[in-house]
Amino acid sequence: MAEADHYDALETRTPEARDADLAARLPLVIAKAMTAPGWARHLDGVDPRAVTGRAALAKLPVLYKSSLPERQAAEPPFGGLVGEPLSAFSRLFASPGPVFEPEPARPDPANMARGLYAAGFRAGDVVLNTFSYHLTPGGLMLDQAARALGCPVIPAGPGNTEQQLQVMAAFRPGGYCGTPDFLKIVLDAAAAAGVEVSFLTKAVVSGAAFPPSLQAEIAGRGIAAFQLYASADVGCVAYDTPARAGMVVSEDVVVEIVRPGTGEPVVDGEVGEVLITALDPQRHLVRFSLGDLSAVLPGASPCGRTNMRIKGWMGRAEQSAKVKGMFVTPAQIAEVARRHPELGRLQLVVGRAGEQDIMTLKAEAAASGESALAEAVGATLAAVSKLRGTVELVPPGTLANDGKVIVDTRAVV
């Protein structure tokens, strides 16, 4: 593909060049993070100079996003995880949780521009940005990315559909940023009002599911819509490209896919929990779990970008269940697997029978008919979780590759 199809030369560099860059940057990023007291405690004993690649990174502890509200309440405003004063940042956000986030003071601080560029946004394109500008960072993240590309932005925010149509008729935006759901609302409203919006030809969507049925409907209306996987904490994680062959990981982060609740990397193709390390000295995130599931796709994208590809957002990794008053976690199921290396995938199914909570551990095993193995695994499950459950050995390949370690089938009352 032509050079103009790529945001910069980083996207098409060799894997060897990317690894060398990672080896140079990781120690600096981790050393800078450890200047913050919270990270110093979390990474106690870590020598940043020794963390020069993925193998060394995988040995560091995981920080879970779900722990941030409690950490930040105990040590405001950022839980001791930011080492610079508030004056070093340009904006301060509050996302639901609440989770407080600082914005680095530079153009395109969330590194979203390359995702917009991959979607075909170019200098001069007018962009309708319907992400919220109120307290949460989504609106400003996309706003600054579009302006970094030279695109004038309509700061519309969500809602007010009638006014949105008036603004669109006046400025004729060629690009849209927002949730896929709201894009459909705008298009439906335009059709109902007889407002012509054929000038809108491309979109970057995020923040909500974009099922194939909605993808087909948006495409049928003449709009090329591209997904952007992002987080308020880290900015752009991965983005769609014209190849439509998975999402390419941003050059500004390291993505790991691990067994949920454990921090242990899984093989490529296995669905697991997404961990992010930001290659940004101001955005202190090292093995940070977003609580999402995804999987690595093999090989490089046909679009010419050479970084890792992932399937995108595949659900939530937070799968703990409360059984008979006690929590069972994915980490406990991983410990069962560690003690029984002869097993393949494991999945704990929690249900109800006779007005009692019950657990069934489904475990892939070549010797699926061996009762002695089932009894041994059952004993390990009881020792690890302090709860008794039934063990069902199934043939290899029986359990779905969906990252679901714990499935709770109890009806929600």
Q: Determine the pLDDT at residue 236.
A: 96
DSSP label of 7? S
Domain ranges (residues) in the chain = 15-316, 321-408
Topology of domain 321-408 in CATH is GMP Synthetase; Chain A, domain 3 (3.30.300)
**Residue whose C-alpha is closest to residue 300's, from 245, 341, 351:** 245
Q: Determine the pLDDT at residue 110.
A: 95
Pairwise CA distance, residues 225 & 138, whole Å? 18
Q: Determine the pLDDT at residue 159.
A: 87
Q: Determine the pLDDT at residue 320.
A: 73
Q: Determine the pLDDT at residue 120.
A: 97
Verdict on whether the full-model pTM lies above 0.85: no
Locate 309 and state its tokens: 């590809």
Asked if the domains 15-316 and 321-408 are classified in one and the same CATH topology, the answer is: no
Q: Determine the pLDDT at residue 91.
A: 96
Pairwise CA distance, residues 266 & 190, whole Å? 46
Pairwise CA distance, residues 43 & 63, whole Å? 10
Q: Torsions phi, psi of 344, nearest 5?
A: -100, -130
Residue with tokens 């790991």: 256
Half-sphere exposure for 230 (CA within 13 Å, toward CB): 30
Q: Determine the pLDDT at residue 161.
A: 92
Pairwise CA distance, residues 286 & 29, whole Å? 9
Residue pLDDT, tens place only, 148-183? 999 999 999 998 999 999 999 999 999 999 999 899
In this prediction, the residues of the chain whose per-residue pLDDT falls under 70 are 1-3, 325, 355, 368-369, 411-413
Q: Determine the pLDDT at residue 209.
A: 80
Q: Determine the pLDDT at residue 411.
A: 57
Pairwise CA distance, residues 221 & 240, whole Å? 19
Mention every residue, 6+ apart, whose C-beta is less than 8 A from residue 29: 277, 278, 279, 280, 281, 286
Residue 375 burial by Cβ neighbours in a 10 Å radius (0-12, 13-18, 19+): exposed
The CATH class for the domain spanning 15-316 reads alpha beta
